[in-house]
Chain A
């Protein structure tokens, strides 16, 4: 990638864990516009289900939802070992907090980690401790930490690199975890961030949040000034969750399929802030929180409109161009924002 040649970058993501842990539920909610109570309809995943998800910034997620029944896992570890575990960018391992045989889960995790170490030692591992809503609120943190420590001890080669999240499909914790995972996968996050920062300065925004349209997952955000003191530190997940809920509501009551119930623009103006969401590129939206002033608001809208082409250059869905054009664009983008290149990793 250092040559500057741009192409769709496929990142392989494995979603694994014991049968019934909630892998497919999670995937359906985040990527397929399910609401939490719809997941009852899901049956067991047979073998591997693949899905491709486009994201901003030259990223194509290639998600492997691996059925968790013992027979399948056996198969992944033997016949398909090379096929499944090579070129993995991220392994997401889902633990069920309610599981009666946590010890067995960890053993299975260990064998998978061993296979991963053998085939793609540079992969990143995220462990999601799932179904946290089933635990009493006051015990959650303690239980989570105990489990996390136990799992870390079994992580072998990845011991220092594992990240843990407590999740539940019934609240925004799911979005929190997935936002982190996505952020890790975006190859040119710093370029996007720098561009966003520049935009924020121009339009005098308190906060800009860039998020992907279909999943409502945050790609990145920029916060300026007093907004850093905002007491709602979980606001990004909350906004993801609010927007997703609203999307479902619109889809349900207008008869539009949930995938296309996107709004073109949303504005909220109050005496303390103004907030709007507008489309930035083909698969991203930009949410902006600005000071309560009509001038700033209108100027910000125009400026965002003007900034669209520059963000579109970073987007994978921009029209395919010849190599030289692309290289030139790369240089322009990079010099404009003082950020070099696109990092690549195995």
Chain B
């Protein structure tokens, strides 16, 4: 078992051993489960929260295959200067897109572990290496891979990229037929709308034609238009990651029943750190509702950062001084407030949606776009149903 984590305290069924560890921790931060923490993923060696169940992932391998570090891998590949490192920095390290100009060329495989609702590794590959050179340990690279993300620069000559992509797919197909291949047609922000869709269609056509010429029909390849300057890269990643979650159908049906019971227009289950949504209800998605939710997370996290600072240290010291204690507040501190962060925005103009956010667990938040009905009527109903949803989530993801 790994070291105790705050989530143990909530579950309440943790072993006595971990309870002993828990005690001093709680003394320092009563009720202070860090809500909506943002920088967690920068801790490279962060402890994985313990779980009674062995996590199962869809790894593209049979369960009795070689056991590696149990993390699905996302491989970022493509021609050099196609934007692989920029994508990984923007999505997983929150680098402002304008700063990616200064990233240096990647010369060796960069492995990064993400600790979030599910642990996965992102391997950023240098663009110029030929992986099927016998000198490379292909087994080591492609073993346990979750998805291969191939990045194509839409603003550049892409024929070479397509040729290499096809070689890679054909090679992989022989040994690892279960790997999802995801093609990001990247840097589309620089193209005009017409030209963009033409390019996109052209690339799809070429890849599929060449693959079927090689005798590989209906290849499992998906295509996305992406750009780091808007939300499209996050949406594309969301869809890639959703394919790796075996529980996805369960999550979707949970969200569906939540939506129908509370008349929610659209509900997303977000990973707060990466702003990737891991599930949504099955009603049609449009990117603007994703963007509203994603921006809304920013607001809540930013405000939480400002006012969620650790008061305990100061409270302790002022108790020490004795005379500084402020009446009224001392009583309030005993109350824990909301266990899970919750937020609501109502818009001024009639007929506009309003937004509801609720922290589901350490990593996930539920965000709902509501219809036109007044929130005050239904707030209690929504709260209750979200509580039920949260309990169900706990069963799906035990940690």
Contacts and interface: CB of A to CB of B under 8 A. Distances in A.
Interface of A: 204, 206-207, 224-226, 229-232, 235, 238-239, 242-243, 245-246, 249-250, 252-254, 256, 260-275, 279, 289, 291-294, 296
A250 B347 contact: yes
B304 A262 contact: no
A226 B311 contact: yes
Contacts of A292: 332, 335-338
B289 A253 contact: yes
11 contacts: A225-B326, A226-B315, A242-B298, A249-B292, A254-B353, A265-B345, A266-B346, A268-B300, A272-B307, A272-B337, A296-B332
Given A245-B295, A246-B296, A270-B308, A253 B288 contact: yes
B348 A239 contact: no
Contacts of A270: 35-36, 304, 308, 337-338, 341-342
A294 B379 CA distance: 14
B368 to A, nearest CB: 14
Interface in B321-353: 326, 328-329, 332-333, 335-339, 341-349, 352-353
Given A254-B292, A262-B348, A271-B336, A232 B341 contact: no
A275 B337 contact: no
B314 interface: yes
Contact of B292 (A207, A250, A263): A250
A264 B337 contact: no
Interface string B298-318: 111011111111010011001
B265 interface: no
Contact of A272 (B35, B292, B346, B348): B35
B33 interface: yes
Interface string B117-131: 000000000000000
Contacts of A250: 292, 295, 347
B295 A246 contact: yes
A256 B307 contact: no
Contact of B347 (A252, A264, A269): A264
Contacts of B353: 254
B338 A271 contact: yes
Given A231-B309, A245-B295, A254-B353, A267 B348 contact: no
B306 A232 contact: yes
Contacts of A267: 342-345
A271 B35 contact: yes
Interface string B128-145: 000000000000000000
B309 A271 contact: no
B32 interface: yes
